[in-house]
């Protein structure tokens, strides 16, 4: 399934998060999601208790779609992931 578009990625991500009952919040511009991200980044706030499940789902989608992790930053208050 390599070469996934933004729309395909987003259309896969949100249903997978919902199906897994991940507690998340889209921060900022979300009107056109999952069809379009408005050429902007997407900020997701994920409940700490859901974070490991979120990472598991995200990694599965990244591997299938050949999307690369650009950076990962974590401190005791926040984790930041850039794709």
Q: Output helix, strand, coil percentages for the chain, rounded to the nearest 5.
A: 40, 20, 40
Say if CB 57 and CB 64 are below 8 A apart.
no
- Average confidence score pLDDT of the chain: 83
Q: What's the average model confidence in pLDDT over 38-66?
A: 86
* Distance (Å, whole) CA 46 – CA 23: 6
Per-residue pLDDT tens over the stretch 26-44: 887 777 777 777 777 788 8
Interval 53-78 mean pLDDT: 84
Instruction: Name the percent of the chain lying above pLDDT 70.
Output: 95
By the 8 A CB rule, do 33 and 10 touch? Answer: yes
* pLDDT value of position 5: 80
4-16 pLDDT, tens digit per residue, is: 788 888 888 999 9
pLDDT value of residue 28:
73
Q: Where are the alpha helices (H) located in the chain, listed in sequence order? A: 6-19, 51-65
């Amino acid at each position: 399934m390599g070469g996934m578009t933004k729309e395909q990625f987003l259309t896969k991500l949100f249903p997978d998060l919902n199906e897994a009952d991940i507690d998340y919040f889209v921060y900022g511009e979300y009107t056109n999601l999952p069809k379009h991200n408005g050429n902007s980044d997407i900020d997701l706030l994920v409940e700490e208790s859901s974070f490991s499940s979120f990472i598991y789902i995200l990694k599965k989608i990244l591997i299938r779609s050949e999307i690369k992790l650009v950076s990962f930053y974590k401190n005791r208050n926040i984790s930041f992931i850039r794709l």
